[in-house]
């Protein structure tokens, strides 16, 4: 079997990858929404993979892996890797988890990142109301995540929140010391959320990036009695092309609150310091940024050797990405907590992807399925109408 073509179409904001072979089999991958700008990055790799045997996934990845980078520039490589595993599973007639070593669990836990409700503001009561809606959500989440601090509107909505100037623009550009009022506001919001969730549902906090080390330590120590699941991306994260393991370690050593990072990190090599220096307690690679699902599995195994937990990021990974998460999560060691579960967005994604029920989460868990490949696939007849004019030949 040989790869004859690599295609990419932007469907509902998501770059979707299709790897085509000379034996009629194809495989699908998906990059995060909304990253339509990644299409040419995906197609850049076409000449490097056409003619290769798609079932030799690692051989192909050795050709293209080095040509990616930190979020979002590793997304194209990651989506291709996922499509290759989908193809390899279909060729072998087995679910992808079989090719990754076999499953160790029949259900995988997820945490809520994608099921969101419009918040009126950023007061403690607004946060309490929001998590109350998540608690009542039919998915039965056992862990929910909320954005606070620099990963929220608190910076703009709370007077005298920070000593720095508020910078506009994307990619979370703000950074600097909080005022006493600002820090107290964050803590009050966390307390309000925990008053609703109690010990029934775990609360994780997406915090930054942007915190200074002293403020990060103050926050972490202040919420120790509340037993939050983790504080995520305090120092670096999202679109920051470095990890600062020594800085994270300074925070981690001074608190019992678990510290989490890793969603923007590309490749196992860039987790080496975080793991070997015990810089954080929990890692959160995103399979659509880190280099794919085999890369994620390797990182989880190496983290487990060092007593570090794994809770993969995934809010924008879409339904094909969700299936990839399920396949790899089924194979991970016991350091696995849960992955951040994406949803179909726009909602018509549930109509064009075969193999995904809606809802597909029950009691905060997803049942691992046994269909070949990723076990989900685009339905050309239903998806065709959502293709842009330039992508009309995607299913040919």
What are 265-294's pLDDT values in tens digits? 999 999 999 999 999 999 999 999 999 999
Lowest mean pLDDT among 165-169, 241-245, 364-368: 165-169
CA distance 111 to 17: 26
Instruction: Please indicate, yes or no, if residue 157 is contained in any of the structural domains.
Output: yes
Cα dist from 353 to 126, 138, 393, 394, whole Å: 35, 21, 18, 15
**Which residues have CB under 8 Å from 169's CB, separation 6+?**
none
Q: Are residues 73 and 132 in the same domain?
A: no
Q: Are residues 102 and 66 in the same domain?
A: no
**Residue 164: pLDDT band by 50, 70, 90 thresholds?**
confident
Instruction: Please indicate, yes or no, if residue 289 is contained in any of the structural domains.
Output: yes
Q: Are residues 21 and 141 in the same domain?
A: no
Q: Are residues 184 and 199 in the same domain?
A: yes
Q: Are residues 154 and 292 in the same domain?
A: yes
pLDDT of residue 136: 97
Instruction: Please indicate, yes or no, if residue 394 is contained in any of the structural domains.
Output: no
pLDDT of residue 342: 95
Helical segments of 45-179, H only: 46-49, 57-64, 75-92, 96-99, 124-136, 154-157
The mean pLDDT value for 101-117 works out to 96
Residue 363 — left, alpha, or beta (φ > 0 → left; ψ -120 to 50 → alpha)?
left
Q: What is the pLDDT of residues 169-209, one digit of tens each?
A: 888 899 999 999 999 999 999 999 999 999 999 999 999 99
Q: Are residues 222 and 325 in the same domain?
A: yes
Q: Are residues 319 and 203 in the same domain?
A: yes
pTM of the model: 0.97
Q: Are residues 149 and 86 in the same domain?
A: no
Lowest mean pLDDT among 25-39, 159-173, 312-326: 159-173
Q: What is the pLDDT of residues 198-208, one digit of tens each?
A: 999 999 999 99
CA distance 46 to 50: 6
Residue length of the chain = 396
The mean pLDDT value for 101-123 works out to 96
Q: Are residues 192 and 103 in the same domain?
A: yes
CA distance 238 to 245: 15
Q: Are residues 62 and 144 in the same domain?
A: no
Q: Are residues 307 and 240 in the same domain?
A: yes
Instruction: Please indicate, yes or no, if residue 385 is contained in any of the structural domains.
Output: no
Q: Which of 75, 95, 115 is the last residue of a domain?
A: 95
For position 347, which CATH number holds?
3.20.20.120
Indicate the average pLDDT of the chain: 97
Q: Which of 44, 63, 95 is the last residue of a domain?
A: 95
Instruction: Please indicate, yes or no, if residue 158 is contained in any of the structural domains.
Output: yes
Is 350's pLDDT higher than 90? yes
Instruction: Please indicate, yes or no, if residue 361 is contained in any of the structural domains.
Output: yes
pLDDT of residue 158: 93
Residue 170 — left, alpha, or beta (φ > 0 → left; ψ -120 to 50 → alpha)?
beta
pLDDT of residue 34: 86
User: Given the structure tokens 């309490």, which residue do they identify?
Assistant: 128
Number of domains into which the chain is organized = 2
Is 323's pLDDT higher than 90? yes
Instruction: Please indicate, yes or no, if residue 119 is contained in any of the structural domains.
Output: yes
Is 218's pLDDT higher than 90? yes
Do the bridges between strand 259-261 and strand 107-112 make them parallel or antiparallel, or are there none, so unpaired? Answer: unpaired
**Residue 85: pLDDT band by 50, 70, 90 thresholds?**
very high
pLDDT of residue 100: 98
Q: Which of 78, 95, 112 is the last residue of a domain?
A: 95
Is 359's pLDDT higher than 90? no
Helical segments of the chain, H only: 39-44, 46-49, 57-64, 75-92, 96-99, 124-136, 154-157, 180-197, 213-222, 245-252, 272-276, 293-305, 318-329, 349-352, 380-383
The mean pLDDT value for 96-114 works out to 97
**Residue 16: pLDDT band by 50, 70, 90 thresholds?**
very high
pLDDT > 70 in the chain, percent: 100
DSSP codes, 256-291? SS-EEE-TT--SGGGGHHHHHTT--SEE---TTTTT
pLDDT > 90 in the chain, percent: 96
Q: Are residues 56 and 188 in the same domain?
A: no
What phi, psi does 230 have (nearest 5°)? -170, 160
Q: Which structural domain range is residue 256 located in?
A: 98-378
For residue 355, which of 385, 323, 386 has the smallest C-alpha distance?
323
Sign of CA dihedral 53, 54, 58, 62: positive
For position 69, which CATH number holds?
3.30.390.10
């Amino acid at each position: 079997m040989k790869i004859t073509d690599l295609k990419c179409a932007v469907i509902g904001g998501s770059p979707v990858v299709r790897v085509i072979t000379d034996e009629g089999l194809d495989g699908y991958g998906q990059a995060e929404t909304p990253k339509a700008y990644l299409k040419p990055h995906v197609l850049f790799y076409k000449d490097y993979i056409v003619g290769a045997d798609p079932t030799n996934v690692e051989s192909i990845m050795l050709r293209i892996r080095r040509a990616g980078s930190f979020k979002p520039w590793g997304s194209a490589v990651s989506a291709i890797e996922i499509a290759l595993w989908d193809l390899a599973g279909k060729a072998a007639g087995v679910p992808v988890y079989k090719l990754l070593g076999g499953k160790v669990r029949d259900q995988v836990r997820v945490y809520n990142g994608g099921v969101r409700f419009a918040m009126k503001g950023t007061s403690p009561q607004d946060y309490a109301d929001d998590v109350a809606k998540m608690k009542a959500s039919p998915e039965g989440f056992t862990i929910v995540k909320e954005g606070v601090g620099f990963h929220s509107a608190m910076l703009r909505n709370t007077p005298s929140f920070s000593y720095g100037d508020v910078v506009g623009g994307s990619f979370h550009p703000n950074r600097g010391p909080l005022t006493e009022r600002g820090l107290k506001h964050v803590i009050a919001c966390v307390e309000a959320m925990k008053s609703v969730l109690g010990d029934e549902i775990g609360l994780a906090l997406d915090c930054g990036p942007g915190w200074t080390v002293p403020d990060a330590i103050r926050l972490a120590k202040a919420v120790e009695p509340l037993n939050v699941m983790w504080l995520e991306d305090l120092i670096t994260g999202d679109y920051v092309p470095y990890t600062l393991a020594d800085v994270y370690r300074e925070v981690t050593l001074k608190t019992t609150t678990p510290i989490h990072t890793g969603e923007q990190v590309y490749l196992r090599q860039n987790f080496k310091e975080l793991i070997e220096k015990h810089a954080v307690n929990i890692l959160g690679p995103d399979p659509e940024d880190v280099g794919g699902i085999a890369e994620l599995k390797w990182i989880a195994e190496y983290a487990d050797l060092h007593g570090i937990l794994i809770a993969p990021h995934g809010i924008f990974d879409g339904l094909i990405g969700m299936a990839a998460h399920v396949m790899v999560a089924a194979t991970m060691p016991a350091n696995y907590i849960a992955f951040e579960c994406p949803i179909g967005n726009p909602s018509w994604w549930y109509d064009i992807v075969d193999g995904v029920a809606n809802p597909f989460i029950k009691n905060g868990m997803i049942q691992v399925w046994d269909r070949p490949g990723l076990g989900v696939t685009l339905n050309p007849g239903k998806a065709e109408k959502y293709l842009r004019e330039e992508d009309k030949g995607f299913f040919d």
